[in-house]
Structure 1
Amino acid sequence: MTERSRRRVGVGRWITDLVLGCRLAVSGGREGWTRTVLTAVGVGLGVALLLVSAAIPNMLDARSERTSARSDLRFTQQELPAGDDTLLIVDVGTRYRGEHVYGRMLQPEGPDAPRPPGVTELPGPGEMVVSPSLEKLLTGPDGALLRERLDARIVGTIGDEGLGGALEHAFYLGSDSLDPDHARRIDGFGTPDDSEGLDPVLLMLTVVILAVLLLPVAVFIGAAVRSGSDRRDRRLAALRLVGADGAMTRRIAAGEAAFASVLGLGVGAVCFFAGRQLVELVTVADVTLFAGDIRPTLPLALLIVLAVPAAAVAVTVFALRRVVIEPLGVVRHAAGTRRRLWWRLVPPVLGLALLTPLIGTIDAESGGGNETQIAAGAVLLLIGVAVLLPWLVEAVVGRLSGGAVPWQLATRRLQLSSGTSARVVSGIAVASAGAIALQMLFAGVSADYVEETGQDPERAQFQVWGWSLGGHSETESALRRLRETTGIRDVSGFSTVYAASVAEPAPGGLPAGVHLVVGDCAMLAEFARLESCAAGDVFMSEAAQPVPDAPAPKPGERVVMSGGTATEWTIPAGTRMVAAHPDSPLQDAARLYVTPEALPPDVLRHGRVEFYVNLDPAEPDAVEHLRTTAVKASPYLSVIERVALRENDRFADIRLGLFVGAVLTLLLIGASMLVTTLEQLRERQRLLAVLVAFGTRRSTLTWSVLLQTAVPVVLGLALAIGVGLGLGAVLMSMVDLSVRIDWTSIGQITGVAAGVVLLVTVLSLPVLWRLMRPDGLRTE
């Protein structure tokens, strides 16, 4: 026989044996089908999450394309003149019951004015077009307060192409009274997405998050493929009895695994396409999507389709290396030969070798390390948890003896087959180790992405600011309306306008100018130390850090107010110098603190107004009433909650992504562990029934199952803490941070992980009790 013929025979034999394995997976009666279905479900859950991960690029791109297409922030080198194709637009977005409402007020300046995406016809004055979600809210019982705020007539619906997602609240409101000086003029919608990429620290966070979230999925797919291995090995022993050799049995086992994994691909696809419909029912941190956005990229989807069956075959063949399948039975080497430690140390050592050269090299300014190197190092360290756990469990349980009957049953079972129990909890251990490392890194870098705003929420909870309402009298009217609003405890307000000196600047110097803060004496006293104050008084504070070559105008000098028609005014010669309060937000520059009576009428027409508001905690909808009053007062007013700390948007997005991914991973872990646990109990059905028939108490067996799970969990979490702390320390050193350990957070992470395992065990108890019935002694 030629070499080519032998190769053909070899390939044909492989195909024949693989096909036979597929046939055995579906022709083994109820037992065979049950094992195949359970394996497929376990694999399918992992595949579904992998498909979601593969869809993230398309998901982000689709939403970004729609939001960029409706953007009205179009910047030009010169002011755009009014024309038949221009549109005045004002941002009138708001919040309602904690949810963002996207809103714009529109005024066309000609018949060819541009329309936003998803809008077929621009609304007229007193009309608005809304998103389906907002229309549902406005017409429902929960939208009463919002209807009061948006009291225009609904004349249309915004199409999907003009929305960020299915549940987005959005509206376009028509008007005929917008001021060109305060509104933006545009001739089209849409701006290119020119956002900057992630800085090296955030990029490293993203890479590690993906590694931490996806590696447990791979671990659970491997565990699902090996479920029911005891029954499979007994079937293979029967095949040896009819003439199959060892190599043939391994190929048949590979065929069974391949069939179950392919079936799992189908289950995963069904779960993915069914589950992605639920995304249109959920809003997370004002982010909403369409189901169609969640589309796996083709290369990643093909990689999943090819890699999952290949990994299933490889795991099955690798697992059979410790099993001798003979015609008269199965001999497992696990009980007689101790697991070797040396090769299990190779992955974490290699991981450290990859990450160590990057220590101190990553920061937001100078650049960072290789993302592939970071991901590979983190993955290898976390793989160390999965490969070390079986050795650790075997080493510990081998030394356990004595104790109560449930304890003896649990430890004896672990001594006979510790690898199965270790595989069940390996995924949760890997996830816990990664979560601990990420928590350390997040805590370390958060200071660089959270800044102090200088605001004092104790003095004022909300700030209402915008363009002037027409003059001081209109500002006072708005102030009275705010004070009369339901749920507002107290409010104070002032106006600001910039005044430039009319004197020529010195050669090489900058024009002199000063900001005027206009308000009553009580308001001015909030910003400066005033010994006495009366109507008509003017005060001046010096800049904390004066600008070179740009001195502020002095008392007695003439200045001109900015905006609209130039109005000249002379700073009174009797202006008194005062000091700004150290905690005042206006103490950084020179200011004139002016009472309204000292200024010409309507000088504030083109200035800005600010109101500081405190709410009554006894009124739950106080903030909604505040926003409604602000909208009624002027479309140019914005309501902002004052906070002491503000988090970087990209950092917050990554934190949100970690939260969503962690929830999905925990759901996968719980579901997969439940499937694997049920398969283990099903394999022990006859043994459990025999023990009950001989008088063993059901409570004894129940406690033995709980203890059998508890021992690997405790050991796995201990190992996870060690590896997680090590990985976290290396990651913090890479961004040049001192290593600090938050034991409270570590306790929370391990508590959640232990809770998931406990919940899965409790959910499996009804099946355990059913398997203890006498009919478990039946055989076919």
Structure 2
Amino acid sequence: MALTAFSALLATLAILAALTVIAIPEIGNRVNDHYVNPLLDEHGLRGGTAFTLVLLCIPILALAGQCARLGAPARDRRLAGFRLAGATPGQATLVAVAETGVAALLGVAAGLGAYFAARPLLDRPDARGLRPLPTDVLPEPWQIAAVAVALPLLAALTAAIMLRRVVVGPLGVVRRARRDRAPRPWPGALIVLGLAGFAGVVPLARSYEARAQEPPFWLVTLLGAGGAIAATIGVILGTGWISYRMGGLLNRLSHRPAALLAARRLTTDPWQGARTFAALLACVIVGAGAAEMRGYFRILRDLEARAAARGGYEPQRNSFYLSSMNLVDVAIVVAVVIAAAGLIVAVGEGIASRRRTYAALVASGVSRGVLARSILLQALVPIVPSVVLALFVGMRLVGPLTGDEVFNYGESAPFVHPWDTIGAYGALAVGAVLVTVTIGLLFLRGSTAVEELRTG
């Protein structure tokens, strides 16, 4: 519940920051000369800044959805107690939904308090009267109210959807409807739809620019943010299909005990990867897109330097683009660390929830080393192709913005993908899974004791 509140706090701050940037008024020549950073002063750059802040909400919201899974065992015991006291199944589910909604509401309240408390502290104009942040403007009151209402409702709705297949009995037995059919590749269609929607932003902006008009912000947000969210959901849900197929492939190609145990788990519960790696994959998508934009800005800087050398003048050396990407990189790394912390808890709780199964395997002669390797394979086999897919989607989302060729100051150069940075994000994600699963294996010895086989 604390992680749910913290996720709501982060989402509130990110959305309010985006709304504050949008609230900056326009002045004559489209340059306000009110702020230190040109990303805030120039009209053409503010939309991208606000959109980037909205995109940062994707890993935050994915983490919020994962938080409901982290506290599932304790929540199930609590709901079973309510059933034992006479509550109906619907009332028990309503309690769980209300708990999530109240936690998100507290997080939103804390985010609003932090936002308004930080404004006077960060309002520090320099000698020229320029502010580092737009602390002199506020979003519309109805926008703030909409954020305060929508986020808790979204959290409660997410909890209700996650509990729709759960039946809580008075003895603490939770029966989940099993999926008899193998996962279908329909998330691929969601990825294609999301990429197509995001790609429509550039042609839309150009069509309005040809008519000397501004595209509606709601339409740009629908295509841009909606497309990015759809593609992200497609990658997360596609992990179920990937897990099932990789489990079947592992079962056919390997005959080692650890690999066979991992293959059986992957085919029996292929959706575990989608539940466990949701926040991490969202971070990888945003990271790949940020790496592409960083490469684009580097080419712009190099073209400016080339034009300056040819013309015999000093380049402006405006590095605010790359400086802004540094902030994005820090936010992504922090999100990966938060997601990794959630993975540790998820792996530990997964081992604890299957402790009788693991204890029975140990009692029948399976070594703990084989179990540890099977758990490690169960995590790594689906995450590697899922990370590759997430990197591809993140790159393709930004592709329409960067183009195949970059023009600046009369110079041009082909766009070169920053494979080193993209590979670093992929290695960071896989490494985070490897480290967190290894730490989670510390719970294995205590969960495979023979005493766990006792039934009463």
TM-score normalised per structure 2: 0.71
1: CA distance, partners of 2:434 / 2:374: 14
Partner in structure 2 of residue 197 of structure 1: 41
> What does residue range 197-596 of structure 1 map to in structure 2 within 5 Å?
197-198=41-42, 200=44, 202-203=45-46, 205-229=48-72, 247-258=90-101, 261=104, 306-323=149-166, 330-342=174-186, 345-346=189-190, 348-350=192-194, 352-353=196-197, 355-356=199-200, 358-359=202-203, 361=205, 370=217, 371-372=220-221, 373-401=223-251, 402-450=254-302, 451-452=304-305
CA positional deviation for 1:350: 4.8
In 1: Cα distance, 2:404 partner to 2:90 partner? 48
> In 2 relative to 1, CA 44–245 (structure 1 residues): closer, same or farther, beyond 3 Å?
closer
Question: If you compute each CA radius of gyration, which structure gives the higher value, 1 or 2?
Answer: 1
Equivalent residue number for residue 83 of structure 1: none
* CA pair 395-211 structure 1, distance change in 2 beyond 3 A: farther
For 1:300 and 1:677, the matched residues in 2 are separated by 39
Residue of structure 1 aligned with 2:440, choices 749, 764, 775 = 764
> Could you report, residue by residue, the CA deviation over 1:83-139 in whole angstroms, capped at 9, with x for unpaired residues?
xxxxxxxxxxxxxxxxxxxxxxxxxxxxxxxxxxxxxxxxxxxxxxxxxxxxxxxxx
d(CA) in 2 for partners of 1:45, 1:690: 38
Q: Distance in 1 between matches of 2:191 and 2:250?
A: 29
Distance 2:363 2:105 in 1: 40
Contact 1:43 1:261 in 2 (8 A): yes
- Mark the CA change 1:211 to 1:713 in structure 2 (over 3 Å): closer, same or farther: farther
**CA spacing shift, 1:217–1:768, aligned 2, 3 Å:** farther
Instruction: Give the 5 Å matches for 1:154-165.
Output: none
Kindly state the Cα deviation for residue 358 of structure 1 after the two structures are TM-superposed. Answer: 2.3
How far apart are the structure 2 equivalents of 1:259 and 1:687? 36
Post-superposition Cα deviations, 1:523-579, rounded to whole Å, max 9, x if no partner, equal xxxxxxxxxxxxxxxxxxxxxxxxxxxxxxxxxxxxxxxxxxxxxxxxxxxxxxxxx
- 1:222, distance to aligned residue in structure 2 (A): 0.5
Give distance in 1, aligned partners of 2:292 and 2:160.
38
In 1: Cα distance, 2:352 partner to 2:393 partner: 34
**SS across alignment from 1:53:** helix
CA contact (8 A) 1:350 1:380 kept: yes
Is 1:42 paired with 2:3?
yes
Spell out the pairing of 1:667-682 with structure 2 (5 A cutoff). Answer: 667-682=337-352
For 1:704, give the aligned amino acid.
Answer: S
Q: Which amino acid aligns with 1:440?
A: E
Cα offsets for 1:555-611 (capped at 9, x unmatched) = xxxxxxxxxxxxxxxxxxxxxxxxxxxx996xx8xxxxxxxxxxxxxxxxxxxxxxx
Give the 3-state SS of the residue equivalent to 2:70 in structure 1. coil
Amino acid at match of 1:728: V
CA distance in 1, matches of 2:152, 2:270: 26
Q: What is the rounded CA distance, in whole Å, between the counterparts of 2:361 and 2:282 in structure 1? A: 35
**In 2, distance between residues paired with 1:229 and 1:762?**
22
The aligned residue for residue 511 of structure 1 is none
Matched, 1:657 2:322: no
Q: Secondary structure at the match of 1:359?
A: helix
CA contact (8 A) 1:261 1:308 kept: yes
**Cα distance, 1:301 vs structure 2:** 7.1
Contact 1:692 1:772 in 2 (8 A): yes
Q: How much has 1:755 moved relative to structure 2?
A: 1.6
Do the aligned partners of 1:361 and 1:735 also contact (CA within 8 Å) in 2?
no
Distance 1:299 1:768 in 2: 51
* Local SS of the residue matching 1:338: coil
Match of 1:714 among 363, 380, 384: 384
Matched position secondary structure for 1:336: coil
Structure 1's 209 and 322: CA in aligned 2 closer, same or farther, altered over 3 A? same
Shift in CA distance, 354/748, structure 1 to aligned 2, threshold 3 Å? closer
Question: CA distance change for structure 1 residues 739 and 207 in 2, over 3 Å: closer, same or farther?
Answer: farther
**1:691: which partner in 2?**
361
TM-superposed CA distance for 1:242, in Å, is 8.6
For residues 288 and 388 of structure 2, the distance between their equivalents in structure 1, rounded to whole angstroms, comes to 12
Following superposition, the deviation at residue 412 of structure 1 comes to 1.9
C-alpha displacement of 1:322: 4.0
For residue 215 of structure 1, report the CA deviation from its aligned partner.
Answer: 0.3
1:669-701 residue CA offsets vs partner (Å, 9 max, x unmatched): 222323333333332334334433444322222
TM-score normalized by the length of structure 1:
0.44
Instruction: Decide which structure has greater helix share.
Output: 2
Task: State the Cα RMSD in Å.
Answer: 4.6
Note the residue ranges of structure 2 that are not aligned, 5 or more in a row: 22-32, 123-130, 408-413
Deviations along 1:226-275, whole A, 9 cap, x unmatched?
33546756876887799866544533442454455567679x77x979xx
Gap change, CA 1:257 and 1:411, over 3 Å in 2: farther
Q: Which residue of 2 aligns with 1:491?
A: none
Corresponding residue for 1:516?
none
Describe the shift of the 1:221–1:300 C-alpha distance in structure 2 as closer, same or farther (beyond 3 A).
farther
Distance 1:695 1:263 in 2: 49
Percent of pairs identical after alignment? 24
Q: 2:344–2:437: 8 Å Cα contact kept in structure 1?
A: yes
Find the counterpart in structure 2 of residue 95 from structure 1.
none
Distance 1:304 1:227 in 2: 25
SS of equivalent residue, structure 1 residue 418: coil
Looking at structure 1, the residues matched to 358 and 78 of structure 2 have their Cα atoms a distance apart, in angstroms, of: 21
Quick check: which one's strand share is greater? 1
* Deviation digits for residues 338-397 of structure 1 (CA, Å, limit 9, x no counterpart): 34544773465155135326238569x988755524333333322322233233323443
| Separation (CA, whole Å) in 1 of partners of 2:260 and 2:294 | 43
Label 1:361 to 1:253 Cα distance change in 2 as closer, same or farther (>3 A): closer
**Unmatched 5+ stretches in structure 1:** 1-39, 61-190, 281-288, 457-582, 589-643
Query: Are the aligned partners of 1:45 and 1:672 in contact in 2 as well (CA < 8 Å)?
Result: no
How far, CA to CA, are the matches of 1:721 and 1:193 in structure 2?
Answer: 34
Aligned mates of 1:430, 1:237 — CA distance in 2: 33
Partner SS, residue 226 of structure 1: helix
Is 1:755 paired with 2:425?
no
Count of matched residue positions in the alignment of Structure 1 and Structure 2: 412
Letter in 2 for 1:383: I
Is the Cα–Cα contact under 8 Å of residues 351 and 378 in structure 1 kept in the other structure? yes
- Which amino acid letter does the alignment assign opposite residue 769 of structure 1? R
Instruction: Specify the code of the residue in structure 2 equivalent to 1:730.
Output: P
> Who is 1:743 aligned against?
419
